[in-house]
Amino acid sequence: MLDNIIEIHGKKVVLLEHAITNNLLPDPSLADVWVINHNDPKLVKRFLYKIIRSEDIRINLKPIFLQKELKKVYSLSSDLLKSLSDGYIKWLNFIDKIPYIETINNFIEKNQYKYDDFDKTSDEFYTFKILNYYYTRKKNIVPNINRKSLTGYSYTRIEAFFENKNDAYTKSRMLLREAFLGGSLARNYVDTSHLCKNCHSGFLNFREVCPKCTNHNLKVRNLIHHFRCAYVGIDKDFVLKDKLACPKCSSELKNLGVDYDKPGKIFLCKNKKCNHEFQDAPVGVHCVDCKTEQSPDELIVKKIYAYELTNLGYQQVIEQ
């Protein structure tokens, strides 16, 4: 069953519903603009991935819009879907997007045969797809903060080329880096992130650990210094019913700062075999994804950049 094609503002628009349900790509020549008309964000995402991974320039560069009316239904996925498409339109009104659509479609028409020369699995082909897309969209390649991505930042549309999560991370970065080194892209610093040494995950749990047994079930206690008799111990030493009484001189500790102060902390390791007491607790890092334990200085430090096409990049797209 084919989806309806309607004409709006002199453009042929296909409202995609069955295609999404069945995950089938429609014929790109039938319409100028594709509009998602499906309310299941999972299926929409699957469909958009299929478009992005397509080796047909007429499909992977096709202007494709989401409908604002469905944004609420997409809820948490709405931003992700936006970054995989050309954004939201309201009431099928895209009159202000017409020049945008025309530029893209002209580009597709001019270049539709140029894909044939490429080895579709080569890095050059991926780079070519990236440059073409961001050229036609006149956008920069900006990393999105994304809780669901491996590292916390994602280049969503580039990572979408790859099915495997690890490939998506490593290959997308590699492609961008190569393009930067080759001069097609320029980059601007955005952020620095710390990643698991084993799986590059950014979902890490930091906590103090016992320097002897690396157990992280610790109890922290305050030190108390009783001025009068110079006794120093932990809070527990002093507690007598609901008062503080000094274990050395038996007098009561009344006022903080006058009778006593708290000059530091002591950790107690709650591992019964260890029970080590110490002040300087090293921090241990636990990777939520691959469960690797590591110390903070073992983490991989990566800088996150936003990229934009350089003049050389433009030239490469035009002369390709």
Partner 1 sequence: MMELWEKYFYLWHILDWKDIIKWGWYIFILDIPRFFVIEGITLYWSRSERKKTKDLWDKAREDLFDEMPLVTVLVPGHNEGKHLFKLVQSMNRQTYTNLELVVVDDGSTDDTAIIASSFEKSGLIDVFLSAAVRGGKASAANLGLRYSKGKYVVHLDADSSLESDAIEKILIPFYRYENVGGVGGNLVVRNGEESLTTMMQFLEYLQTISVSRIVLSKLKIYKIISGAFGAFPRHVLNRVGGWDIGPGLDGDITVKIRKIDYRILFEEEAICRTHAPVTWKALTKQRLRWSRSLIRFRLRKHNDIWQPNKNFKIINFLSFFENVFFSLVLDLLWFFYMFKILITDPSFMLIWFPFKYTIYLFMTLGQYSFVFFVNKDKKYLFSKIIYIPLYPLYMGYYMRIVRTISYIDEFFFYDSYKDVWNPLKTSKKAKEHGM
Contacts 24+ apart (CB under 8 A), 159-166: 160/48, 160/49, 160/52, 160/53, 160/84, 161/52, 161/53, 161/126, 161/129, 166/199, 166/200
Of residues 220-239, which lie at the interface with partner 1 (CB under 8 A)?
A: 223, 225, 227-233
Nearest approach, Cβ of 219 to partner 1 (angstroms)? 15
Figure out which of the listed residues 55, 264, 295, 318 binds partner 1, where binding follows CB under 8 A: 264
Figure out which of the listed residues 261, 289, 292, 300 binds partner 1, where binding follows CB under 8 A: 261
Query: Distances from the Cα of 182 to the Cαs of 30, 31, 177, 310, in angstroms?
Result: 37, 36, 8, 11
Taking CB under 8 A as the rule, which mask of x and - marks residues 20-39 in contact with partner 1? --------------------
Nearest approach, Cβ of 215 to partner 1 (angstroms)? 18
Minimum CB distance to partner 1 smaller for 51 or for 218 = 218
Figure out which of the listed residues 266, 274, 300, 306 binds partner 1, where binding follows CB under 8 A: 266
| Best CA proximity match to 144, nearest among 204, 194, 77 | 77
Stretch that binds partner 1, among 60-68, 119-127, 275-283, 295-303 (CB under 8 A): 275-283
Q: Which residues, in sequence order, are CB contacts of 228 under 8 Å at separation 6+?
A: 246, 249, 251, 259
Q: Which residues, in sequence order, are CB contacts of 115 under 8 Å at separation 6+?
A: 55, 56, 57
Nearest approach, Cβ of 51 to partner 1 (angstroms)? 54
Minimum CB distance to partner 1 smaller for 23 or for 279 = 279
The DSSP result for 290-313, as a single string, is T--EE-GGGSEEEEEEEEEE-HHH
- Counting residues that bind partner 1 (by CB under 8 A) gives 23
Nearest approach, Cβ of 267 to partner 1 (angstroms)? 11
Sign of CA dihedral 82, 83, 84, 86: positive
Count how many residues are written for the chain: 320
> Could you say whether residue 263 binds partner 1 (CB under 8 A)?
yes
Q: Which residues form the interface with partner 1 (CB under 8 A)?
A: 211, 223, 225, 227-233, 248-249, 257-259, 261, 263-264, 266, 277-280
